[in-house]
Amino acid sequence: MSKAKRQIKLGAFLMETGHHIAAWRHPDTHLAGGLDFSHYAQLAQIAERSKFDAVFFADSVGISDTNLASLSRTARADHFEPLTLLAALSVVTKNIGLIATVSTTFNEPFNVARKFASLDHLSGGRSGWNLVTSSSETEALNFGFEQHPAHAVRYERAREFHDVVTGLWDSWEDDSFIRDRESGIYFDPDKLHTLNHRGKHFKVRGPLNVARSPQGWPVVVQAGASDAGRELAAQTAEVIFVAHQTLDEAKVFYQDVKGRLVKYGRQPDDLKIMPGIFPVIGRTHDEARAKFNALQDLIHPDVGLALLSKMTGGVDLSKYAVDGPLPDLPETNGGKSRQQLLFDLARRENLSIRDLYLRIAGARGHQQVVGTPESIADQLQQWFEEEGADGFNIMSPWLPGGLTEFAELVVPELQRRGLFRTGYEGTTLRENLGLPRPGNRHAQAVRQRAAG
């Protein structure tokens, strides 16, 4: 197998007791796993043994408690703050990437730049930042807002936020530190750079009080799939986590986003597109289907309706007939791309409200694959080879069992086909993903001056 052969990238998207909304009721889940470090340590180590590129954590800075009857039937209301958790996981892992979601709407860029740089130093170059603008009113109300900031304003702020953070990451040149005891010079003052950013949303002087980190910049990940989201990703992201239902949809998205890169001077390989996959694995198709149905049977109708309401932008669907069609919904300020995805799905397959909530209860709009290790590998291979994906973010239905099955049954099948690594290529997340290490803008300026 040639080293240059393109291979699948894999993320382990971890979530409490699993991605299926009723996973906590599954007899084999770690019932109180949401706030148990040993649960996550075990999961990260399973993924690392199988050579996953990264573990990934979503995040929300608030609880949507408007429907307590439904919420109290889920394990979704409390969990670790992801960066805190990943710092701890850095100690019990060696190679796997550590990607945390942090919102640009409810944080200050100096704090975010510093925390990811710290995690990158802690982990020897394995940190990644999933940059989100957050999509729920619930979160905004925890941060002094009377309502959620508008979509366009959030994206404008996010772009400037990214500029500030990456600027701060370049505060120190890579070779700033001399540490010569004899002369008493600890660092070269010419290699420390003050940012002096003054923009529409931020005034940040800098410099950052953390040295440039092993990866130069921690890997930047995004998940927004709206037009504004795609454009921001084409300009700034190195990985996109995205939800697709069909290969055709995935190919259109892939081509669209990769096509946007050129105007920012980037190569198609500089951005990895990784759709979410919700795998239910059986020795036979019937066994897989039975496993899936057993999970679906655990969903209380209140929970299904509330999930659907949340994912369609906060509209209350309880007043509509559960076995009737999805009504037309008003324009909302929530995440547009996911709303559109669900409407397209329901119209395409003529789904009732109940059908739809059962459909999204596991994968939340991502692709469900229910089958044997071979059939699942077939599908991943097809999506990968036909350029619908560079890799996949694996959303195990229940944990740890669902991840263990993927690691023991599907990963070896992908390896046999030469589609997935059998050993890590490098020591940093960037090296394993095949992403270039960004040069420091100031070091480049110096080189250009010297050459000019």
Three-class SS state of 73: coil
How far is it, in rounded angstroms, from Cα 307 to Cα 322? 13
172 binds its own copies, rule: CB under 8 A: yes
Helix (H, G, I), strand (E, B) or coil at 302: helix
Q: Which of residues 11-70 bind its own copies (CB under 8 A)?
A: 22, 24-25, 27, 31-32, 35, 37, 60-63, 65, 68-69
| Residues within window 90-109 making contact with its own copies, judged by CB under 8 A | 90-92, 106-108
Q: Using the minimum distance from each CB to its own copies, give the nearer residue, 120 or 249.
A: 120
Between 99 and 414, name the residue whose CB sits nearer to its own copies. 99
293 binds its own copies (CB under 8 A): no
Q: Does 72 bind its own copies (CB under 8 A)?
A: yes
Residue with smaller CB distance to its own copies, 108 or 385 = 108
Question: x/- site string to its own copies, residues 243 to 262, per CB under 8 A?
Answer: --------------------
Which CB atom, from 90 or from 337, has the smaller least distance to its own copies? Answer: 90
* Nearest residue to 392 via CA among 426, 427, 367: 367
* Residue with Cβ nearer its own copies (147 or 448): 147
Query: CA distances (Å), 249 to each of 61, 217, 308, 320, in order?
Result: 30, 31, 21, 29
Whether the upstream peptide bond of residue 275 has omega within 30° of 0, thus cis, is no
Q: Per CB under 8 A, does 111 bind its own copies?
A: yes
449: contact with its own copies by CB under 8 A: no
CB of 95 to its own copies, least distance (A): 16
Query: Residue 116, Cβ neighbours under 10 Å: how many?
Result: 27
Q: Does 184 bind its own copies (CB under 8 A)?
A: yes
In angstroms, give the least distance from the CB of 99 to its own copies: 15
Task: Report the greatest alpha carbon distance in the chain.
Answer: 80
Strand segments (E) across 336-394: 367-371, 391-394
**Residue 130, interface with its own copies (CB under 8 A)?**
no
**Does residue number 300 form part of the binding site for its own copies (CB under 8 A)?**
yes
Segment interacting with its own copies, rule: CB under 8 A, options 201-209, 245-253, 272-280, 360-368: 201-209
> For its own copies, which residue of 14, 54, 85, 317 counts as binding (CB under 8 A)?
85
Contact between 149 and its own copies (CB under 8 A)?
no
DSSP 8-state symbol, 415: H
- Of 1, 2, 144, 319, the one binding its own copies by CB under 8 A: 144
239-242 and 219-222 as β-strands: parallel, antiparallel, unpaired? parallel
298/351 with CB nearer its own copies: 298
The alpha carbon dihedral of 126, 131, 135, 137 has a sign of positive
Query: 283 exposed, middle or buried (CB, 10 Å; 0-12, 13-18, 19+)?
Result: exposed
Among 2, 4, 152, 179, binds its own copies (CB under 8 A): 179
Determine the residue type at 185.
Answer: I
**d(Cα 61, Cα 423) in Å, to the nearest integer?**
36
Q: Crossing angle of helices 151-169/109-122, nearest 10°? A: 50
d(CA 428, CA 97): 7
What would the two tokens of residue 62 be?
A: 């608030």
Say which DSSP state 397 is in.
S
Contact residue for its own copies among 1, 2, 4, 78 (CB under 8 A): 78
Which of residues 9, 39, 73, 310 is near its own copies by CB under 8 A? 73
Q: Which stretch binds its own copies (CB under 8 A): 118-126, 258-266, 319-327, 361-369?
A: 118-126
- Residue (275 or 400) nearer to its own copies, CB: 400
